[in-house]
Amino acid sequence: MKLSICIGAYPGRDAAYHLEKVKEHGLQGLEYYKWWDLDLNAVAREQERLGVGISAVCTKSFNLVDPALREAFVDGLKETIEACRRLGARSIITQTGNELAAVSRETQKETMTETLKRCAPLLEQAGVTLEIEPLNGLVNHPGHFLQRSDEAVEVIDRVGSPCVKLVFDVYHQQVTEGNVIRNATGYVDRISHYHIADNPGRKQPGTGELNYVNILRAIRETGFDGFIGLECGYTVDTDEALDTFKRTIWEQVRG
């Protein structure tokens, strides 16, 4: 498995600084959400210099349940795929947007499916994976349409493309549904990568109720070799938090 951090891990610092820290800590990737804010050529040069790079970005549009926004989503995805080509990134994260009032869940899932089927050939041609991310509605994202991992997998299976998968956010799924190890491993063939943070508080692993040694060991035992992304806040200096995480959790998981 590979370990990444997310932009904002070092508040106020730019992508180049974060990439330096990825290298310094022996990590493998950086998730940078708003790629359109970057000088892509400058970042590509930094990546070549350091030997580490951006592993995931986000879509420009975040709505999959409103058919009126389908063309905007697809157009934005085309731009994002081109950015991925220039950066060497292989994952694009998206969410679904909020549930539409007076529209059935089944209709909204059908809309998602049709939009994602439109996207699939573009992704397959580029060799890039679009990752759907369920978000919890209890604490952080009230009203968000897609919250459960099983429902995400249902839509992914309907689309039937190897380039449309799930990003399994352990924090969100703990809040929404629990059964973290069962779901995180049971759906591993539909999961492109994982986000991790502790609960409550969404801070670094080791600060809350989740046993990340057990969770990450279970994921590793499936043979998963993709990215584990630290998408969390930090209760102490980021460098200190990363050193502690690597020593107390990551090294135990990797043996």
Show the DSSP H helices in the chain as ranges: 15-24, 40-50, 70-87, 105-126, 149-159, 170-176, 180-186, 212-221, 238-245, 251-254
Average pLDDT over residues 117-144: 98
Query: Is pLDDT at 255 greater than 90 in this prediction?
Result: no
Q: How many domains does the chain have?
A: 1
Query: Is pLDDT at 236 greater than 90 in this prediction?
Result: yes
CATH code where residue 245 lies: 3.20.20.150
Measured CA distances, 155 to 26, 40, 177 (Å)? 36, 32, 18
Average pLDDT over residues 54-70: 97
Q: Nearest Cα to 187, choosing from 145, 137, 163, 222?
A: 222
Average pLDDT over residues 24-28: 98
pLDDT tens digits along 157-214: 999 999 999 999 999 999 999 999 999 999 999 999 999 999 999 999 999 999 999 9
pLDDT confidence bin for 248, thresholds 50/70/90: very high
Burial class (CB in 10 A: 0-12, 13-18, 19+), 98: middle
Terminal Cα-to-Cα distance of the chain (whole angstroms): 12
- Range of the structural domain that residue 102 is part of: 2-254
The reported pLDDT for the residue numbered 37 is 97
Q: Which position among 31, 46, 131, 231 bears the catalytic label?
A: 231
Query: With pLDDT > 70 as the criterion, what percentage of the chain qualifies?
Result: 100
Q: Is 20 an annotated catalytic residue?
A: no
Q: Which position among 31, 46, 131, 133 bears the catalytic label?
A: 133
pLDDT confidence bin for 91, thresholds 50/70/90: very high
The reported pLDDT for the residue numbered 254 is 87
Average pLDDT, the chain: 98
Q: Is 106 an annotated catalytic residue?
A: no
Single-letter amino acid, residue 214: N
